[in-house]
Amino acid sequence: MGGKTLYDKLWDAHVVRDNGDGTALLYIDRQLVHEVTSPQAFEGLRLADRPLWRVDANLAVVDHNVPTTDRDKGIADPISALQVETLNQNCREYGITQFGLLDRRQGIVHIIGPEQGATQPGMTVVCGDSHTSTHGALGALAFGIGTSEVEHALATQTVVQARSKRMLIRVDGKAGPGVTAKDIMLAIIGKIGTAGGTGYAVEYGGEAIRALPMAGRMTICNMSIEAGARCGMVAVDDTTIEYLRDRPYSPKGERWDQAEAYWRTLVSDEDAEFDRVVTLDAAAIKPQVSWGTSPEMVVPVDGVVPDPADEPDETKRAGMQRALEYMDLKPGTPIREIRPEKVFIGSCTNSRIEDLRAAASILRGKRIAKNIREAMVVPGSGLVKWQAEQEGLDQVFKDAGFEWRDAGCSMCLGMNPDKLSAGERCASTSNRNFEGRQGAGGRTHLVSPEMAAAAAVAGHFVDIRELEQ
């Protein structure tokens, strides 16, 4: 028999029972909870008079609805405020550990989990949120679930799951200067498409992935869902282990040694077989900019907006046409001539300290261009914000003309007051460029933090590789 993939190992270690109908009861080690997808789950528990199976497996935080300014004044929108207060109450009632609005550990759920060491290698991690795939960067099996499943996990510490097929995405060689994890991932999505990973558990490997720090691996795994895969993961190595050392919830003392020994087994065996293998050459990847309304609509920065006339597939051609209209772009326009009016640096994809450092390095001593109406940095967590301030990055951003905000999802989805207005064009480090995602009628271009910062300074997209010389 052949060896096991990382996914197989994680799966097998968590099967409580095989249901015999293609599904299994899978044990959940960690559930992350946020205010938007959890209220009905708690209500369901109450109606059925069910206790939590294991209170200490849950960690809650408010992120989607929260304002990023004037926190001490509370939340102005009464409906958002109620959703936040409901989570507070549920956590109090059930005894769940929660980082509240004014806690410095508060932040985007997928930032704070790894930051606190609350999500670890070998864990199964769920959350009522599709970007839960982020935590797979630690060598965990992490995926998003619906509200009924949130309740199911709260009540039983399990979810009913069918086993996925296994895909390896191998990025060989070294990425060039100015080419970030975000560019690698956008290139992957551009290659396999937004449904390419449907039905698969994806493992990312190869030299270029191994070379990434944890922050970059999280950026990659985060956007697995944009490639259609519910979960993405990276095998454990020294980078993973060093990242976890001394995190608040990481195991301590003897338990650390025990855990580390186990974690080091969390790699795919040499002879493991995947159902599909996709390879990319890192050296060939250039900085990426999305031009359309789906994450697969992406081109290198030195390219042009594609022409639907060149697309043989009729459905795709129609989709491109619609996207061009929505984005108000003409085929053949050089990407470098596209001029955003807003710049957003944030979201669970790119709001870690490494992302802020990278953006600040471009902005040091510069000012945003006149056509940029608003540029904001929304750190992924209160602790990221604090760290950045220790390093003086806040001053760099402010001097350049950026707003320096409090942590949350913010303009990634515009559920709080941070939104695009109709017709506004934004260089954004987030993960979805769907119609209306950042605000009704808003136009999103997905880029790396460096590319967003460079666009803010130039007033149009620029090839970061030229700046760096």
Partner 1 sequence: MEPLTRVEGLVAPLDRSNVDTDAIIPKQFLKSIHRTGFGPNLFDEWRYLDYGEPGQDCSNRPLNPDFVLNQPRYQGASILLARENFGCGSSREHAPWALADYGFRVIIAPSFADIFYNNCSKNGILALALPAETVQALFEATEATEGYRLTVDLPEQVVITPEGDRYSFEIDPHRKHMLVEGLDEIGLTLEHADEIRAYEQQRRAVTPWLFEDLGPA
Q: Given the rule CB under 6 A, which residues bind ligand SF4? A: 63-64, 108, 110, 129, 131, 347-348, 409, 412-413, 430-431
Selection from 323, 358, 343, 307 nearest residue 430 by Cα: 343
Q: Output the smallest distance, CB 100 to partner 1, in A.
A: 7
Out of ligand SF4, partner 1, none, which partner does residue 53 contact, by CB within 5 to 8 A per kind?
partner 1
Q: Output the smallest distance, CB 33 to ligand SF4, in A.
A: 12
- Say if CB 126 and CB 159 are below 8 A apart: yes
Residue closer to partner 1, measured from CB, 168 or 227: 227
Tokens of 283: 């050296």
**Binds partner 1 (CB under 8 A): choice among 7, 11, 94, 99:** 99
Residue type, 448: S
Three-state secondary structure call for residue 328:
coil
435 binds partner 1 (CB under 8 A): no
Q: Output the smallest distance, CB 360 to ligand SF4, in A.
A: 20
Out of partner 1, ligand SF4, none, which partner does residue 413 contact, by CB within 5 to 8 A per kind?
ligand SF4
454 binds partner 1 (CB under 8 A): no
Out of partner 1, ligand SF4, none, which partner does residue 265 contact, by CB within 5 to 8 A per kind?
none
CA distances from 461 to 242, 353, 423, 454 (A): 36, 23, 18, 7
- Say if CB 111 and CB 352 are below 8 A apart: yes
Letters for 40-79 (x = contact with partner 1 by CB under 8 A, - = none) are x--xx---x-x--xx-x--x-------------------x
Chain centroid, CA 274 distance in Å: 24
Tokens of 372: 């940029």
Q: How far apart are CA 5 and CA 9, in angstroms?
A: 6
322 burial level (CB within 10 Å; 0-12, 13-18, 19+): middle
DSSP 233-266: EE---HHHHHHHTT-TTS--HHHHHHHHHHHTT-
DSSP 154-218: HHHSEEEEEPPEEEEEEEES-PPTT--HHHHHHHHHHHH-TTTTTTEEEEEESHHHHTS-HHHHH
459 binds partner 1 (CB under 8 A): no
Out of partner 1, ligand SF4, none, which partner does residue 140 contact, by CB within 5 to 8 A per kind?
none
**Binds partner 1 (CB under 8 A): choice among 71, 86, 357, 417:** 86
The residues with which 166 forms a beta bridge, in sequence order, are: 201
Q: Output the smallest distance, CB 119 to partner 1, in A.
A: 11
Out of partner 1, ligand SF4, none, which partner does residue 331 contact, by CB within 5 to 8 A per kind?
none
Residue closer to ligand SF4, measured from CB, 215 or 409: 409
Positions in the binding site for partner 1 (CB under 8 A): 16-17, 19, 21, 23, 25, 27, 29, 39-40, 43-44, 48, 50, 53-54, 56, 59, 79-80, 82-83, 86, 91, 97-100, 103, 118, 120, 122-123, 146-148, 151-152, 155-158, 160, 249, 251, 255-256, 258-259, 262
